[in-house]
Amino acid sequence: MQDIPLRKIDHVRFFVGNARQSAFFYRNAFGFDPVAYAGLETKVKHEAGYVLRQGEITFVLTSPLSAAHPESRRLLTHGDGVMDIAMDVPDVRAAFNEAVKRGGTPWAAPQALEDEHGVYETASILAYGDTTYSFVNRDRYRGVFAPGYKPMDPERYQESTFHPVGLAAIDHIVGNVEEGKMNEWVEFHKTVLGFSQLMHFDDKDISTEYSALMSKVVQSGTGRIKFPINEPAQGKRKSQIEEYLNFYGGPGVQHVALITGDIVKTVRAMRANDVSFLRVPKSYYAALPDRIGAIKEDLDELAELGILVDRDDEGYMLQIFTKPVADRPTLFFEVIQRRGGKSFGKGNFKALFEAIEREQATRGTL
Ligand code: FE2
């Protein structure tokens, strides 16, 4: 099937209760630079928006300014979370029409938004749960983000308190869907967006004594966009995916994986900024040399920071997961460095899921 040409992930939009405070968190803890703002001061009456950048990553944080906002119910249902994944396409109308023709559900019809900086085009279809996929094009737009947004007031943040942590790009974005729905959503990505299936893990790969999940990875034609899809599998106790579905109130984005060129430096900086990461037991590091062989990084340093390593045929990768970033045990982040390895950390699943189960136990949700 012909691909819809998806050039890259343009931005990820989070719908949050207090965008001003979330922007402070992503700036001061994750090292993002708030570059643009929309709100009452820019003549946007119904919501506030903060655009944050680091490397090629763009996050948009949106909060409603009243209960009359058409999306305000999201906050009650889901809490803070990913609302939309926007993908850059050469032709918004063509991408939207093609996706809808192939069975995608329209969410927002193609629109050309204009201001003195040019034309920004956007259209959206529904993805899993209340998550949407947007097609955007800014080839004819020269403004800071999109019409309605203005460059951040230089008085808002002090340059001296800004410390990027070296996050460079989005590696993958993972969706959690209900039990039995994974294949349906894999098919959706293949049929509607022309994705292909990269790999899959079943409950033999991804299970502990207690909980299990299944996962398949789909990617765009160019391989630049990767979306693993998880569903819960039967285990003795409640899986982390069920916990997510219960607290998020349905399917949604579980984690966003952010690439760094130097994970030791990035994680050290984020830890210094009070970002909380999952920890695996010391025994993980004792077993590591036998499992993955020689690596460039210092094992003691990886153990100190809690960074995990996995190897595949093409090289190895290093990864670490934050704890959930809100009080609901829902969205979290992964920091990942690839040294040739293309995997998603299959060899780490067991140690990782046991770490998650320990967290679940403290929440009483296991
Ligand atoms: Fe991941």
Dig out the tokens for 293 from the structure. 């062989």
Torsion angle of C-alpha atoms 244, 323, 326, 124, degrees rounded to 10: -60
Q: How far is the CA of 288 from the centre of ligand 1 (A)?
A: 20
Per the listing, tokens 């990084």 go with 297
Report CA(228)–ligand 1 centroid distance (Å).
8
Distance CA 352, CA 240 (A): 11
- Which pTM does this prediction carry? 0.95
Q: Give the pLDDT of residue 205.
A: 62
Counting every residue written for the chain, the total comes to 366
- CA distances, 128 to each of 61, 135, 153, 326, 359 (Å): 20, 16, 36, 21, 26
Burial of 364 (0-12, 13-18, 19+ CB in 10 A): exposed
Residue indicated by tokens 């693993």? 228
C-alpha of residue 149 to centroid of ligand 1, in Å: 31
CA distances from 111 to 92, 108, 272 (A): 9, 8, 43
Residue 215 CA to ligand 1 center (angstroms) comes to 11
Q: Please give the distance, rounded to the nearest whole angstrom, from the Cα atom of residue 333 to the centre of ligand 1.
A: 8
| Centroid of ligand 1 to alpha carbon of 42 (angstroms) | 36
Q: Could you tell me the maximum CA-CA distance found in the chain, to the nearest angstrom?
A: 60
Contact 137/96 with Cβ under 8 angstroms? no
How many angstroms separate the alpha carbon of residue 154 from the centre of ligand 1? 35
pLDDT of residue 212: 80
Among 321, 323, 324, 317, CA closest to 346: 317
pLDDT score recorded for residue 252:
98
Q: What separation in Å is there between the alpha carbon of 162 and the centre of ligand 1?
A: 27
Please give the domain boundaries of the chain with CATH numbers for all domains: 8-161 (3.10.180.10), 167-363 (3.10.180.10)
pLDDT by residue, tens only, the chain of 366 residues: 567 899 999 999 999 999 999 999 999 999 999 999 999 999 999 999 999 999 999 999 999 999 999 999 999 999 999 999 999 999 999 999 999 999 999 999 999 999 999 999 999 999 999 999 999 999 999 999 999 999 999 999 998 889 999 999 999 999 999 999 999 999 999 999 999 998 766 656 666 666 688 889 999 988 899 999 999 987 767 788 999 999 999 999 999 999 999 999 999 999 999 999 999 888 899 889 998 999 999 999 999 999 999 999 999 999 999 999 999 999 999 999 999 999 888 888 888 888 888 888 889 988
CA of 107 to the centre of ligand 1 (A): 27
Rounded distance from Cα 257 to ligand 1 centre (Å) = 5
The rounded Å distance from CA 201 to ligand 1 centre is: 13
CA of 191 to the centre of ligand 1 (A): 23
DSSP, residue by residue, 176-204? E--TT-HHHHHHHHHHHH--EEEEEE-TT
Ligand 1 center to 45 CA (angstroms): 37
**Spacing, Cα 277 to ligand 1 middle (Å):** 14
Centre of ligand 1 from the C-alpha of residue 234, in Å: 21
Query: How far apart (Å, rounded) are the C-alpha atoms in residues 250 and 326?
Result: 16
Residue 171 Cα, ligand 1 centroid: separation in angstroms?
Answer: 8
d(CA 240, CA 68) in angstroms, rounded, equals 34
Residues 175, 131 contacting (CB under 8 angstroms): yes
- CA–CA dist 340, 311 (Å, integer): 9
CA of 321 to the centre of ligand 1 (A): 8
Distance 94 CA to ligand 1 centre (A): 31
143 CA to middle of ligand 1, Å? 32
